Structure 1
């Protein structure tokens, strides 16, 4: 009996502690302050005041990429100049991209990667316009592993027909996650890879015809079919805009 009471009290104290931590984090965000943690690259401890050398490196890096420079050359430059982050580890292409596209670079408070519309106390490194421009440019580039930062709306939906594993989006196609690790099945079968635009179009058309068939038999309203058509048109238009933006940034 005593042990059960002690466990219940400990669990309650743990819940209360978690609630206090969440409340403290929420208060900091509302005050325009980032949630405390590891010192972010470019700022001093606390994440509000700039670290001059690191901030200059980020500012120059943004201009370097916007003017047509590559991430790989920027990565090599930072490593050669020993401009390492708080962990002291050498930069990779992925970590450089992650630093350049942070909302906090423009002094914007963010939570889980999304900007918050609050009055920020973070000292900015670049302007909001510059940040949005480089975020767009980086979204149109593939990562060092070939995986795009813009995810397909089929992420987590498509499955490999060979092993049943999940399909991962790449810049121009979707491939089985197992295949990307350069492994094969016991039978030696090749895992599935498919052009991303073709897969998206086929799935959208299947949804459209399913909705149209169901509407004919009265199981769904005609308005649902119109909505599917509208979604398909939006998808085509988004694909055109992405291609035009890619040509403009290349």
Structure 2
């Protein structure tokens, strides 16, 4: 008697499964509408709904895990339900792999499937499973065909320079119908300042201090500045899968401004691949102890007059690990070291030896700009060749490999030339009006120059003989330049 009750409960216990995704095929119904139709079907079939499982905003086609669907399979395998009710079979699965897994679960648990729009699915017989597989194939075809149409529409829109969707781009009105001049002016300012040596980080700090927010009303950071400046649409370019097309909307930056900006961005990549990382001190990492050879760390030290000055010192313990580090016997005020270093760099840049070494790689902005234009053209050509083979089928295998190899070879040559140009550009420019450039440029540019020159600064300890005192240096500091040893790799 109890077994009959369990069997009856199993046969009349149903689970409703609902799903909707961004791909609103079917009838564009929400999960609430699906559940309502399924409950009406359950009432007509005389079964009790024990579970309602929902995967909202998840596509069955994408292959991403669907938590509620996986729970449904477990209920089926464990015999906790005797029926699955869905709005349509395509709500359950659009993959043949998923369908086979569902068939297995149905057989193990003795579960039947009913849909509100496509009727029952009999998975207990070969003919029933054949029909289910055919429905699955049709559903998959519909999705693939829809995706194909969407891709074709996107490509056509890109070729026409039209808006491809997404959130409102900073600097433009919604759907890029026009330029929003108040924001476009900010983009032009950022591009100009970055081209002239400012860093992403310093630009973000400046905008935040001035109360200039993002289009979402948020503060800026280095990554947001970078993402804003690298957008091709700023120059009237629509980038679609690596191929550039002329936008139908007006450009915020001129072609020359855009090309100069790309050259500056290429230079910045040599300093750090993390746009948000920065150094607080110009000489951090370039100062070494003259006794033990360890790197000096920066700290703020109070002076006799009560003011605080930045000092570089050798630490006995590592500030991060607490383990023994240096000798702790050398420290020096940083400001006069920076002044001495700038004088030495100036003399170094004006020396005939360095000028001769720079002559091999010396280039102007125009050359670097042309290289970047060529690089982008070759990258676009590489994408087109790949599409012609894999997507359109316009090329056979031999034609594809020959054309792709040729473009890749030329692209590598251009990238090598860009690397050679950028490796000396900062140093070459520094020889021109260096003093003004050094004083007015940010820490990003200054450290880039030190890296290019391969500077290493050794701070020797103060002499211990009786009567020694630090001499007066430039009538500003008590500082002995003889105790500072500057080594050059370039």
TM-score between the two structures when normalised by the length of structure 2 = 0.31
Counterpart among 396, 420, 432 of residue 240 in structure 1: 420
Show the 5 A alignment for 1:92-131. 92-112=221-241, 114=242, 116=244, 118-131=245-258
Q: How does 1:160-175 map to 2 (within 5 A)?
A: none
| Shift in CA distance, 18/51, structure 1 to aligned 2, threshold 3 Å | same
- Deviation at 1:19? 0.8
Post-superposition offset of 1:39:
1.5
Please give the secondary structure, in 2, of the residue aligned with 1:141.
Answer: helix
Map residues 62-81 of structure 1 onto 2, 5 A cutoff.
62-81=191-210
- In the alignment, the residues of structure 1 paired with residue 216 and residue 261 of structure 2 have an alpha-carbon distance, to the nearest angstrom, of 25
Q: Does the CA-based 8 Å contact 1:54-1:83 persist in structure 2?
A: no
| Structure 1 residues 204-236: Cα deviation after superposition (integer angstroms, max 9, x where no partner) | xxxxxxxxxxxxxxxxxxxxxxxxxx9999887
Assess if the C-alpha contact under 8 Å between 1:32 and 1:119 holds in 2: yes
1:133-212 aligned at under 5 Å gives the runs: 133-142=260-269, 146-147=272-273
Q: Per the alignment, in what secondary structure is the counterpart of residue 237 of structure 2?
A: coil
The residue that corresponds to 1:177 in the other structure is none
Matched, 1:29 2:155: no
Deviation per CA, 1:66-111: give whole Å up to 9, x if none: 3333322210122234433344442221220221122111112212
Contact 2:236 2:246 in 1 (8 A): no
1:132 equivalent among 250, 259, 273: 259
Q: Which whole-Å CA distance do the structure 2 matches of 1:61 and 1:134 have between them?
A: 10
Change (3 A) 1:7 1:88: farther
Greater fraction strand? 2
CA contact (8 A) 2:160 2:246 kept: yes
Offset at 1:34?
3.5
1:212-223 equivalent positions in 2, closer than 5 A: none
Deviation at 1:46, TM superposition (A): 0.9
Three-state SS of the structure 2 residue aligned to 1:140 is helix
Determine the C-alpha separation between the residues in 2 that align with 1:231 and 1:66.
24
Instruction: Tell me if 1:47 matches 2:173.
Output: no
In 2, the alpha carbon distance for the partners of 1:111 and 1:69 equals: 29
Give the gaps of 5 or more residues in structure 2: 1-128, 276-319, 321-409, 430-444, 446-490
C-alpha contact 1:107 1:122 (8 A) present in aligned 2: yes
Compared CA separation, residues 45 and 135, structure 1 to 2 (3 A):
same
Change (3 A) 1:53 1:22: same
User: Any conservation in 1 of the 2:233–2:247 contact (CA below 8 Å)?
Assistant: no
Q: Which residue of 1 aligns with 2:92?
A: none
Q: What is the SS of the residue equivalent to 2:176?
A: coil
Moved more, 232-241 or 77-86: 232-241
Aligned partners of 1:106 and 1:124 also within 8 Å: yes
Cα-to-partner distance string for 1:40-84 (whole Å, 9 max, x where unaligned): 111111124112221111011112223333322210122234433
Structure 1 spans left out of the alignment, 5+ residues: 150-181, 183-229
How far off its partner does 1:23 sit? 1.1
Which string of whole-angstrom CA distances, capped at 9 and with x for unpartnered residues, describes residues 164-211 of structure 1? xxxxxxxxxxxxxxxxxx9xxxxxxxxxxxxxxxxxxxxxxxxxxxxx
Distance 1:23 1:231 in 2: 28
Q: How far off its partner does 1:238 sit?
A: 5.2
Counting matched residue pairs gives 168
SS in 2 for 1:129: helix
Larger radius of gyration: 2
Contact 1:109/1:122 (CA < 8 Å) preserved in 2?
no
Q: Distance in 1 between matches of 2:138 and 2:243?
A: 38
Q: TM-score, normalised to structure 1's length?
A: 0.57
2:191 aligned counterpart, secondary structure: helix
